[in-house]
Homo-oligomer: A and B are copies of this chain.
Amino acid sequence: MVALGFTTAVAILAALATGTNAQTFRRTAACPKLGCVFPPDQADFIAGQTFDIRVEVQAPVNGSEAYNGGVVNDKFSLQLSHNGGELVDVTKFFSVEDPKADKYNFTYFEDLFAQDSKAPTPVNVLSKSYRNVQLHKPGHYKAVLSYNDGQTTEANWEVLEFCEAKAKNVIFFVGDGMATSMISAARLLAHKTVNGKYKSKLKLDEAPAYGAQMTHSLDSFITDSANSASALFTGKKMTVNGLNAYTDSTGKAFANAKVETIFEMYRRITGGQVGIVSKAYIADATPAAVVTHTSQRAQYTAIIEQFLVGVTGNYSWYPWQGVDLLFGGGAENFLPGPGNGNISQFDRWAKAGYQVGYTKTELNAFNNDDRALAIFTRGNISTWLDQNVYKKTLDYALLPDGTAGAYDQPGLKDMTIKAIDILSARAKKRGTGWSLMSEAALIDKEMHVQDVDRALGDLLELDDTVRATLEHLEKIGELDQTLVVVTADHGHGFDVYGSADTKFLKEQNSDRKKRNAVGVYQNSGLSAYTVPQGVNPTVHDEYAGPQGEGFPVTWDPRYSIAHGWAAFPDKREDFAINAGHERIPATKNASGYFFNPQDNLDGFAMTGNLDVSEGQGVHSLVDVPIYAWGPGHELFRGVMGNVDIAFKVAEALGLGRDYNATKEYTK
């Protein structure tokens, strides 16, 4: 039954294999051989998209790929061709100078055994970077790195042209970590059914275009929010922690090869407005990925700096004149202090002409003429559940100045609608369009700590925000010229599998008996969240809860959703809401993360399936949904890669030009 083709292939591969079976740790992403090209093979481009090229030649000193005693052969060159034409040296192809090669070394572990026995593999490297280049003409490009006396590493790139705009404006909503299973759960909590038929549904359910996207990264099948947001916004697969820059072997944050985002292109080509809204600290990966560039998402100070003035220092990039608005949390990254130098970014942005605010009241008082910075909290903005239901928790939320009690916070809807007002007014005045990235960031944060109620609250807030956004766009007459895309950057392995009688669970004395509280199949019953506590959910009523249509009537019914995660640390489960505080399922002891002695004391114990160094749940592989409205929405139907989304937005906005289009932006 072994086909001939396979036998032959095995024989060929046996020769190639030579022990290189390590894969959990990789030498460098996008370097299958000892020569590396960034952007790598299969990195397609929007016509005119700006990017850096970087090549590396590596020589491991020992290990399975040891080469030449670790001495790098310094004869290497990069050549490019277009549509099968002649290969031309990179300096001629782009009319750039050939830089002097950088020389450095790094180490890595080949596998867990090597890590356990502290046996790293050192690698010597020579590299060159060619910065700030563009490919304008559509078609096929080939980049060939020649090294080590005849070895080559090839990169094939397609360049796609999109000249005609269907949409003038774009709103890109990211439900961070929002998998379909969580949408199903949120619908169950917030919308009533009669005999299995929903009486109302999510706004997302009504989208005229529905699709799914694959979230895996360049070199790992599980992504983080930096590299997946970069994929959504540049159309390029990247490495974990990378923000619109290819993680190379330097270990440095800013030397890496950068790629222009669709928001940067939109500003450069149309002179349009660019706004960023998030419920996370605003230097977090997803908002940062709109316009900043670093392989290390934790470079918060630099990210705030790049929002305002773009890439600085030796890493040549074209001038950036600042985002038009920035609303979110994370005041700690704006204040003078350790890591931030002596600069108050609040003062700096104010001097640069931004309106600066710290509360919802101040947000609402912003004029619609001037650029705006509003940072409402230290760390993340509070969750929808904390802001709207368990408000006592706000006693501990920190204002930007560090004092407790950030009561005057906006929700995602407040920030998004105000952002639209400012951006559209400024765009109108300038004869341009506008773009906005709005992130429901806390869906992800709360899934990480297995706080399902807070996560679903913020998911419902996103749905409510999308509904309000579409209504507002209609009201201000921009609905028919605005593309609205809603998607996620990755999922969490999560699902609801029944109901749990929380009263019964609490009253049992053993872990095994507590599990008897779970009802599956016919005993899952109906959603008890859509009726007041103690009311039989088969009795259907017309009233909504205190937060109105689209939110649960009750957040702590006796019969809650029994739910679980594919990946989790040691924890206790009681299926009850954490009313007083965000959940922290595991805490660290000498042996790693373990049951939090303060968490879910009435629950039953579950030992986790993650490395004990992980205290939280992690991202998962599942394809995530896409929803779209407005001009170009039809492009977002079906199954696609996350990188395809950037191309489709670029197509809707007409951003792929075969000439170096620019339109001056005025602050």
Check if B221 sits within 8 Å of A539, measured CB to CB.
no
Q: What string of 1s and 0s marks CB contacts (under 8 Å) between A544-573 and chain B?
A: 111010000000001101111111100001
Check if B525 sits within 8 Å of A197, measured CB to CB.
no
Q: What B residues does A216 contact at CB under 8 A?
A: 188, 193, 196
Check if B622 sits within 8 Å of A184, measured CB to CB.
yes
Verify if A132 is at the interface (C-beta below 8 Å from B). Answer: no
Verify if A491 is at the interface (C-beta below 8 Å from B). Answer: yes
Distance in angstroms from A7 CB to nearest chain B CB is: 9
The segment out of A80-88, A278-286, A362-370, A636-644 that lies at the interface is A636-644
Check if B546 sits within 8 Å of A237, measured CB to CB.
no
Beta-carbon nearest neighbor of A626 in chain B: B210
Check if A607 sits within 8 Å of B605, measured CB to CB.
yes
Distance in angstroms from A576 CB to nearest chain B CB is: 14
Complex Cα distance A108/B294, Å? 63
Which parts of A29-83 form the interface with B (CB within 8 Å)?
Answer: 30-32, 40-43
Verify if A195 is at the interface (C-beta below 8 Å from B). Answer: yes
Q: What B residues does A40 contact at CB under 8 A?
A: 195
Q: What B residues does A536 contact at CB under 8 A?
A: 17, 20-23, 32
Verify if A528 is at the interface (C-beta below 8 Å from B). Answer: yes
Check if A24 sits within 8 Å of B499, measured CB to CB.
yes
Check if B9 sits within 8 Å of A220, measured CB to CB.
no
Check if A221 sits within 8 Å of B493, measured CB to CB.
no
Among B201, B495, B638, contact of A622 (Cβ-Cβ < 8 Å)? B495
Check if B612 sits within 8 Å of A222, measured CB to CB.
no
Verify if A183 is at the interface (C-beta below 8 Å from B). Answer: yes
The residue among A214, A498, A562 with the most chain B CB atoms within 10 A of its own CB is A498
Q: What B residues does A559 contact at CB under 8 A?
A: 23-24
Beta-carbon nearest neighbor of A6 in chain B: B546
Q: What B residues does A218 contact at CB under 8 A?
A: 195-196
Complex Cα distance A219/B13, Å? 56
Verify if A180 is at the interface (C-beta below 8 Å from B). Answer: yes
Complex Cα distance A592/B411, Å? 47
Q: What string of 1s and 0s marks CB contacts (under 8 Å) between A157-201 and chain B?
A: 000000000000000000000011101110110000111111001
Could you list which residues of chain A lie within 8 angstroms of chain B, going by C-beta atoms? 1-3, 5-6, 8-10, 12-13, 16-17, 19-26, 30-32, 40-43, 111-113, 179-181, 183-185, 187-188, 193-198, 201, 204-212, 214, 216-224, 231, 237, 239-241, 391, 491-499, 501, 504, 511-512, 515-528, 531-541, 543-546, 548, 558-559, 561-568, 573, 591-592, 604-614, 618-623, 625, 637-639, 641, 643
List 16 A-B pairs, Cβ < 8 Å: A5-B544, A13-B532, A13-B535, A23-B536, A24-B559, A188-B621, A197-B643, A207-B638, A207-B639, A210-B210, A240-B522, A493-B495, A496-B566, A512-B591, A518-B609, A562-B567
